[in-house]
């Protein structure tokens, strides 16, 4: 492979989200292979986007429902096209199939959106309908098993769209072994269509700040990501009051990109609840904290904030959803709790017990070494990519479901897009 076209849902922001960090790892890896890379997106140019020019990556602003993208494909003729999330595959996949049929089509799911949506719906159903805001956030994290999740997902339009996109592509990049198992066992997705890779930037620090040098609790996450905003609300209304009862002088510092006014309105220093907003260096503020709190009641994929916590030697308290796909058979680098009382008590215990804190720090380092080794993840990903290229014709022939879905959905998408294009030209 010599030419890569990376179709971004957004412009990558490695300092704003784990997804942005993961995208940059792929882009760097492609350039290290001396492959020519073009990054194209229909999204607005963002303030915090990465400097792709520094990696000698060409940037292209593209438009949806526009034939100009066809001309780009015909001129560039990529060997590999990466779709950043299934929305992008839906919009541009038929054009790639039509004008660059020889290109290997790869979908980076980032996480399974339909799984996250299913858990969010289950959480909403567990909340009292007409209760006040604080009362609504007393319920704990979603603990539904795979059977219940599958049942919820099958009724979802989002799941049907997302899994159809997985079938239509030659390879889908997954970031959670739980999601791989869910797709294989319950949705019958062939194993050769899935690549489980933890490749993401985890800058492990050699010199870890000690227990005595640290202070305060910390929570961090992009506010545009629904699970992160929900976690802040659960902290504010249900968990933090219980922590403050036991630790009256404790402080919680909440960081995250793109905080809306409603988030900053939660700032209450008299309660030790500090809304900090954007962090110029997430690893730096994480390394100064004593305990990271990630009370995720719903979500999917693996959590960049928790990888950063382990990399900086900061023990964490999170839920089963938080640790999903991250620890394998190893003990977590902190404590895990799914209800507000247990979560708060675990946070206090980890904050006060130095021996437990140091053990948790060691356990976090062990997880990073076993499951987030950059060199091993890089080699396994490249091998999967090159094997998919080598077996591309054979796999496409085997994947009749994917051909069928591509035919029906792409025809309808193609005709709708062409109709919109003609309409825009007349206007």
Segment 258-315, tens digit of pLDDT: 999 999 999 999 999 999 999 988 889 999 999 999 999 999 999 989 999 999 999 9
Q: What is the DSSP letter of 399?
A: -
1's tokens: 């492979």
- Domain range summary for the chain, segments of one domain joined by +: 3-118+122-200+375-426, 217-371
- Collect the ranges in the chain with pLDDT lower than 50: none
d(CA 238, CA 252) in angstroms, rounded, equals 14
Residue among 227, 241, 223, 217 nearest 138 (CA): 241
Q: Which CATH number fits domain 3-118+122-200+375-426: 2.40.160.20, 3.40.50.2000, 3.40.50.12160, 3.20.20.80?
A: 3.40.50.2000
Read off the pLDDT of residues 222-255 as tens digits, 9 standing for 90 and up: 999 999 999 999 999 999 999 999 999 999 999 9
DSSP structure string for 305-352: HHHHHHHTT--EEE-HHHHTTT-TTSPPSEEE-SSHHHHHHHHHHHHH
| Residues forming beta bridges with residue 220, ordered by sequence position | 255
Q: Model pTM? A: 0.91
Identical fold for domains 3-118+122-200+375-426 and 217-371, yes or no, is: yes
Give φ, ψ of 101 to 5 degrees: -60, -25
Residue 292 contacts residue 221 (beta carbons within 8 Å): no
Q: What is the DSSP letter of 216?
A: S
* Count of beta carbons in the 10 Å neighbourhood of residue 394: 10
Rg of the Cα trace of the chain? 22
| Residues forming beta bridges with residue 255, ordered by sequence position | 220, 277
d(CA 219, CA 345) in angstroms, rounded, equals 16
d(CA 200, CA 111) in angstroms, rounded, equals 13
Q: Are strands 58-61 and 273-277 parallel, antiparallel or unpaired?
A: unpaired
How many Å is the maximal CA-CA distance in the chain? 71
Residue 223 contacts residue 259 (beta carbons within 8 Å): yes
Q: What is the DSSP letter of 268?
A: B
Residue 3 contacts residue 36 (beta carbons within 8 Å): yes
* Count of beta carbons in the 10 Å neighbourhood of residue 374: 17
Instruction: Residue count of the chain, please give it.
Output: 427
Residue 22 contacts residue 199 (beta carbons within 8 Å): yes
Residue with tokens 């202070």: 215
Query: Which strands sit side by side in the sheet containing 104-108, from one edge to the other?
Result: 58-61, 36-41, 3-8, 80-84, 104-108, 171-174, 194-196
226's tokens: 């629904």
| Topology of the domain covering 217-371 | Rossmann fold (3.40.50)
d(CA 18, CA 221) in angstroms, rounded, equals 9
Taking each helix axis as running N to C, give the angle between helix 157-168 and helix 86-99, from 0 to 180 degrees, rounded to the nearest 10: 40
d(CA 90, CA 323) in angstroms, rounded, equals 30
Residue among 324, 298, 323, 310 nearest 127 (CA): 298
Q: Are strands 316-318 and 291-294 parallel, antiparallel or unpaired?
A: parallel
Residue with tokens 């507000």: 340
Sign of the torsion angle spanned by Cα atoms 61, 64, 65, 70: positive
Give φ, ψ of 293 to 5 degrees: -110, 125
Residue with tokens 């990271």: 292
283's tokens: 């690893």
Residue among 317, 323, 316, 328 nearest 366 (CA): 328
Residue 106 contacts residue 385 (beta carbons within 8 Å): yes
Q: What percent of the chain is helix, strand and coil (3-state, nearest 5)?
A: 50, 15, 35
Residue among 54, 52, 32, 93 nearest 382 (CA): 32
Residue 4 contacts residue 96 (beta carbons within 8 Å): no
């Amino acid at each position: 492979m010599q030419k890569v076209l990376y179709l971004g849902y957004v412009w990558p922001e490695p300092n704003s989200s784990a997804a942005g960090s993961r995208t940059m790892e792929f882009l760097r890896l492609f350039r290290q292979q001396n492959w020519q890379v073009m990054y194209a997106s229909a999204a607005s140019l963002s303030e915090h986007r990465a400097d792709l020019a520094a990696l000698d990556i060409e940037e292209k602003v593209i438009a949806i429902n526009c034939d100009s993208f066809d001309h780009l494909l015909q001129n560039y003729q990529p060997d590999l096209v990466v779709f950043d999330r299934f929305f992008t595959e839906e919009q541009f996949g038929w054009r790639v199939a039509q004008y660059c049929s020889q290109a290997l089509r790869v979908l980076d799911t980032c996480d399974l959106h339909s799984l996250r949506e299913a858990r969010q719906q289950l959480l909403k159903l567990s909340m009292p309908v007409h209760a006040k805001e604080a009362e609504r956030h007393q319920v704990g994290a979603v603990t539904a098993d795979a059977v219940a999740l599958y049942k919820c997902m099958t009724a979802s339009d989002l799941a049907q769209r997302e899994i159809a996109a997985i079938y239509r592509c030659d390879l889908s990049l997954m970031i959670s072994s739980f999601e791989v198992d869910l797709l294989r066992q319950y949705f019958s997705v062939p194993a050769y269509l899935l690549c489980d890779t933890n490749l993401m930037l985890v800058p492990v620090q050699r010199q870890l700040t000690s227990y005595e040098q640290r202070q305060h609790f910390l929570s961090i996450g992009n506010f545009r990501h629904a699970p992160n905003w929900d976690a802040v609300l659960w902290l504010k209304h249900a968990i933090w009051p219980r922590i403050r009862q036991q630790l009256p002088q404790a402080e919680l510092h909440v960081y995250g990109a793109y905080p809306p006014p409603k988030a900053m309105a939660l700032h209450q220093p008299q309660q030790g609840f500090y809304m900090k907003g954007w962090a110029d260096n997430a690893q730096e503020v994480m390394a100064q904290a004593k305990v990271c709190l990630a009370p995720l009641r719903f979500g999917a994929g693996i959590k960049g904030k928790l990888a950063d916590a382990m990399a900086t030697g900061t023990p964490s308290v999170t839920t089963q959803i938080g640790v999903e796909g991250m620890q394998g058979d190893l003990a977590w680098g902190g404590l895990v709790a799914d209800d507000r009382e247990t979560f708060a008590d675990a946070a206090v215990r980890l904050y006060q017990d130095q021996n437990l804190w140091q053990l948790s720090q060691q356990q976090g380092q062990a997880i990073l070494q076993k499951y987030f080794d950059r060199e091993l993840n890089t080699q396994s990903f490249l091998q999967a990519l090159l094997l998919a290229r080598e077996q591309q014709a054979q796999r496409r022939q085997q994947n009749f479901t994917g051909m069928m879905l591509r035919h029906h959905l792409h025809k309808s998408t193609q005709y709708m897009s062409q109709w919109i294009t003609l309409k825009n030209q007349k206007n």
